[in-house]
Amino acid sequence: MDHVSDVHPDTPASDALSPDALGGALRDIVEFVDQDGWDQPPMLFALVPTAALARSQPDLVDADDDSELSPIAQAPLPNPASAEDATAELERVLATTSWPPTVMGAALVQEITVVPPDEPTSEGRPGRVAAGALRDGRTLGLLQLRPEPGADPEAGIELLTHPDLAVELRTALAHTLDVDPAG
């Protein structure tokens, strides 16, 4: 696994990133996770500027990669048996995580059950939420619903978003960027 501390310190500020940088990184993360299918534990990612990563570790970046941010997967998170234990473990991890200044953002992807707001007693549908935050305060949440049985596997990944999607998770990720690890 790559270490985020290996990225060169002259990383540009997150305000130099385009408005689409976080969304592009989250899409990359969903596509990466989707390759291994469903029923996976949560995964945490550092978001580092691709240009800085290309300078410090050129073997990790494709020559034609024009993305602004590169997700770097962190150590796998535990997958506790119960939902309550999983929530407590995720809260603990996010409360104790901080990033070096070279990291411009953080993201997490986890599987959830989506229940329609107007039908709180209906059976939920499995989904995957990808949430991210940048040092400049921008956050975003994307939702991928698990395809129905028999769905066309070549249909591609459909991502949905809403301003209220994963607000608490986005806030927790933003707090991991507040702490100065040198301080």
Residue 142's CB is within 10 A of a number of other CB atoms, namely 24
Contacts of 129 (CB under 8 A, 6+ apart): 109, 110, 111, 112, 141, 142, 143, 144, 165, 166, 169
pTM, two decimal places: 0.84
On the CB side of 53, how many CA atoms lie within 13 Å of its CA?
Answer: 23
Q: What is the pLDDT of residue 46?
A: 96
Q: What is the pLDDT of residue 7?
A: 43
pLDDT tens for 125-183 read 899 999 999 999 999 999 999 988 888 877 888 999 999 999 999 999 999 998 444 44
